[in-house]
Amino acid sequence: GDSVTQMEGPVTLSEEAFLTINCTYTATGYPSLFWYVQYPGEGLQLLLKATKADDKGSNKGFEATYRKETTSFHLEKGSVQVSDSAVYFCALRYDYKLSFGAGTTVTVRA
């Protein structure tokens, strides 16, 4: 079935470092792809999305590009802040079903 595999954490970075979280997917059709974020003590919220190949989603300095040829949707941010410390989930949606990866915990130190 459709599934998502994302980079295992935890990831610890210093402020202003570059962040990449890898995400690859397996799907029979053409899914929509998402990154969700869960800040400490809060619910999940959508960070960005891409609905077709070569689309780039972006929000809050984060970017991810839907790469059909490599079945990937890697999340990147050029300069992280302490406030970016959170758990990040890659997800895909095909038909009605929304499936998530295991999550990557990111900690940014001042």
Q: By C-beta, is 49 or 74 nearer to other proteins?
A: 49
Please, what is the minimum distance in Å from the beta carbon of residue 107 to other proteins? 15
Cβ closest to other proteins, residue 96 vs residue 110: 96
Minimum separation from the CB atom of position 78 to other proteins (A)? 25
- Write the CA distances from 97 to 9, 55, 66, 72, 80, integer angstroms: 25, 21, 19, 19, 32
Q: Would you say 42 or 69 has its CB closer to other proteins?
A: 42
**Positions that interact with other proteins (CB under 8 A):** 1, 32, 34, 36, 42-46, 49, 51, 89, 93, 96-103
Give the whole-angstrom CA distance, residue 44 versus residue 36. 6
